[in-house]
Amino acid sequence: MQESQRLKPTLLAPSATCCYGRLLGALCGIVGPSVPNLFPGRGKAAWTFNASQRHSRLTVGPALSSYQTGSLPDGYPKLYMTSVLAEALPQEDPQVAKAAFSIRRTTCRANGIRQFYLEAGAGPPVILLHGFPETSFAWRFQIPAIAPHYRVIAPDLRGYGETDKPSKGYDKRTMANDVVALLETLGVGRVALVGHDRGARVATRLVKDHPELVDRLVVMDNVPTRIVAREMNAKVAREYWFFMFHQISDLPEALIRGREDIWLRHFFSDWCHDPTTISGEAFETYVKAYSAPGAVRGAMSDYRASGEDITHDLEDADRKIGCPVLSLWGEDFEAVGRLFDMKAIWSEMAENLSVAPIRNCGHLPQEEQPVVVNKLLLDFLRGWNG
């Protein structure tokens, strides 16, 4: 049975010392109805919160004649709305511009653990699986673009975010079964599946083990684990040092505890084409998530399952993925786009492959180049009717 997250409406008042507070105050109409459009050409926006149904509603569209007073659920990142309006909504898409949908923060028990997920929209299901060092928050730019057309479900993976962090079960087969069990609980059958980084490893294992469930697959900035191992040399080891470090028992947790911000700052700065891409409230959202009890251990456990993952991957290495696959990656990430021939790698993995290298982009395409990624996703999803 699904358990809706207990949320309380919180009025966001503008603050003289908080730029996003002033911005959100203007957008939500808190400072009055006569506010200039802060995003020309992208329409006006309003948030409302339904306390009985425990969800927030984002309404975007040039037809709005005035801003409405609204609020965001307690604990829901305020950057979500401002970043979505500033970057993620392609103004040339009138369907997106006129969209009204709810983003629900929900939990359910599936495959023996309590799983947290975001859900929005209706129609053919699209599943978004985040990577490291992220959570479902990574999809804040994609959900508003995809939800007007599809039912979007974005879980926190086992060990990450608000999902349980058990002591075992981090091999990708078990994590893929987490997603399968979540879909069964929600009454969802065949899906379009999108995975980034660690989420792409889960997605790849899911489509290998359950090909009947996946209509099409998107893998973002990911080199399969067995290929990283196969190609290991001094240069690869230098770029994938964290693969080894994260697998050491206990030491990473001891060194990172209380320094989560330093640990995360290194990855976000080193892995993004623009080192400041993940800053401000977005960065603080991730720091908070990875500072929670068990969060670092959960992420480390994901990496510590690499040996078991490679064993599983080698067992069906000769069997290619049969559904359409889109592989996209940042051209400027040293450990992926600059180090590997990504088209050749994914041609080895998939029978029906499309590729899309993204310029001026590192390891986090969905956050670094959200408009480009949204267009690629929507184009690839076209024709997906459930």
User: Alpha helix (H) ranges present in the chain?
Assistant: 19-28, 79-83, 94-97, 143-146, 172-185, 198-209, 225-230, 234-239, 241-245, 251-256, 260-271, 280-291, 295-304, 306-315, 342-349, 365-368, 370-381
75 φ/ψ sector (left φ>0, alpha ψ -120 to 50, else beta): left
Instruction: Tell me if residue 312 is catalytic.
Output: no
Q: Which of 303, 309, 312, 313 is catalytic?
A: 303
Q: In angstroms, how far is the first alpha carbon of the chain from the final one?
A: 24
- Rounded to whole angstroms, how far apart are CA atoms 161 and 383? 32
Phi/psi of residue 197, nearest 5 degrees: 55, -120
At 79, the amino acid letter reads L
Pairing of strands 100-110, 113-120: antiparallel
Cα 197 to Cα 131, 213, 255, 296, 363, distances in angstroms: 5, 21, 24, 17, 8
Q: Which of 55, 130, 196, 363 is catalytic?
A: 363
Q: Which of 171, 197, 221, 302 is catalytic?
A: 197
Contact 13, 21 (CB under 8 A): yes
User: Alpha helix (H) ranges present in 85-167?
Assistant: 94-97, 143-146
Instruction: Tell me if residue 303 is catalytic.
Output: yes
Instruction: Tell me if residue 197 is catalytic.
Output: yes
Active-site positions?
Answer: 197, 303, 363
